[in-house]
Amino acid sequence: MITKRSNFAPLFLKETPLILSLLFCFIFVSCQKEKGFKGVNQGDQATSQSKLKGKRLKRSIDSRLGLGEFFVEKKIRKNSNFAETLEEMNFSYQDILQIIKAVKPFINFSKLQINTVLQKKERSYPLKEFLSLEVFLSWIERVVVEKGEKGEWKARKKNLPITTKVTKFNGVVEASLWNSAVKAGLDPAVIEKLSQIFAWEIDFNREVLPVDSWRIIVEEKWAGGKRVSWGHILAAEYKNGNTYHKAVRFPKGKGGEYYDLEGKSLKKKFLKSPLRFGRITSRFTRRRFHPILKIRRPHYGVDYAAPKGTPIFAVGDGRVTRKHYSKWGGKTIKIRHNSVYQTAYKHLSKFHPSVRRGRKVKQGQVIGYVGSTGLSTGPHLHFEFYQGGRYVDPLGKKFPQLKKIKKENLISYKSFAKEVWKFLPERQEAVLLAKKTNEKKKKEDL
């Protein structure tokens, strides 16, 4: 399996309406540059000068270093401390005292962790000279210590600028979606984001196939030559069986939303109510007095009173997971809408004949009729909503909103999406299939 990985430069500054023009600013930057930036461990100072000669060439590739300049890096070891580490870096006792005094306002020594990096920058040419000492408090936070003109030690806080790169990844599911992400060098958190984007189209718990493939471009946040976090997925394709699901993030307005290439939202809205006309007689509560049982017990749903036989609609597209009779709920239908949401409909007088377990239903499709089966005082629908397997109040909960692209933005979105799409890596499945056919051919040739 081949994993494509290349970086291209900062783009998508912030939610600019004219991102299109920015798109053409993609500059490809090699990852190799970052690899050249490495500290030298100063364990063997005696031989370091000769060793450094060889390494100096490499170091000069790093534009951050001037002629004859180099870094010496040390980590604070277990059972060691800041002062001892400085000592190991060949600072004099006097200097160490001065440095500690200077950095005190910026560093809480009791909270300084093992493996905190100290980096000394020195010059060896034309004269050996101390330039600075940096203490890496986090990936982006550093304390810089320098020497003033009079030889006094001065410290200041430095926050590294975060730059955004855009990277491409692709994979074939094979064993699992999670594995394919790891194999591609992708943080599983990003794959989680991918599954959220398509949560309304694919049930990632049940519908994922080994032949499924995916490809994405995603933002990476870099600081100090290292990736510090992941940003947004800018474009994604998930091939589920023979269906291609496509998404592009349109960074307009707050947060940005995902749309398909035609500009249709990837989120779907639930119907406000499973009945056309229904009067809410009992709301969702964690404690209520039960009219039949005469005890206080929670009511994990909403009751709609309606005449017997009133049609009940599926509130969203999904798959019927249960169709059964229970003593309490009577005739019950449960629908799984995606990997997050499920709904249940109880006390039905009758199921609609089209409803079968395992079958798909469409939003607004009649699935049954209001009744009073099970433990019920009169004809009503008991409607339940689940999010991640837990009951939620369908009336109190803010469900995903269908965000349409405004008409005046649709044309610009489409050309934007088209441009972004070009940056996706090759579909890996194609590579895999080609490889397989090649292998087949080879065998045939033999």
* Part of the chain binding Zn ion (CB under 5 A), chosen from 138-146, 261-269, 295-303, 430-438: 295-303
Burial of 142 (0-12, 13-18, 19+ CB in 10 A): buried
C-beta of 184: minimal distance to Zn ion in Å?
47
Q: Which residue has the tokens 């970052």?
A: 34
Residue 282 Cβ, how far from Zn ion at the closest point, in Å?
A: 6
Beta carbon of residue 299, minimum distance to Zn ion (angstroms, whole number): 6
CB of 400 to Zn ion, least distance (A): 25
- 212 sits near Zn ion (criterion: CB under 5 A): no
Q: Of 213 and 376, which has the nearer Cβ to Zn ion?
A: 376
Of the candidate spans 13-21, 111-119, 144-152, 300-308, the one that interacts with Zn ion by CB under 5 A turns out to be 300-308
Residue closer to Zn ion, measured from CB, 276 or 297: 297
Distance between CA atoms of residues 317 and 372, nearest Å: 25
What torsion, rounded to 10 degrees, do the Cα atoms 338, 321, 325, 275 define?
Answer: 40
Q: Which of these ranges, 85-93, 141-149, 302-310, 363-371, lies near Zn ion under the rule CB under 5 A? A: 302-310
Q: Cβ of residue 170: shortest distance to Zn ion, in angstroms?
A: 48
Q: Among 203, 257, 303, 384, which residue sits at the site for Zn ion (rule: CB under 5 A)?
A: 303
Span from 48-56, 159-167, 303-311, 334-342 in contact with Zn ion (CB under 5 A): 303-311
Q: Is 268 in the site for Zn ion (CB under 5 A)?
A: no
Pull the structure tokens for residue 8. 């291209």
Q: Which residue has the tokens 């091939």?
A: 239
Nearest distance in Å: CB 181, Zn ion:
42
Q: Considering the rule CB under 5 A, would residue 382 count as an interface residue with Zn ion? A: yes
- Interaction of residue 95 with Zn ion, rule CB under 5 A: no
| b/e map 278-315, b = 16+ CB within 10 Å | beeebebeeeeeeeeeeeeeebbbbbbbbeeebebbbb
Count of residues of this chain found to bind Zn ion when the rule CB under 5 A is applied: 3
The Cα–Cα gap between 414 and 378 comes to 52
Question: Which of 432, 20, 8 is CA-nearest to residue 248?
Answer: 20
Q: Per CB under 5 A, does 347 bind Zn ion?
A: no
Residue 37's nearest CA partner among 4, 14, 63 is 63
Are the C-beta atoms of residues 168 and 217 closer than 8 Å to each other? yes
Report whether 371 contacts 352 (CB < 8 A). no
Quick one: 201 or 303, whose CB is closer to Zn ion?
303
Instruction: Name the site residues for Zn ion (rule: CB under 5 A).
Output: 301, 303, 382
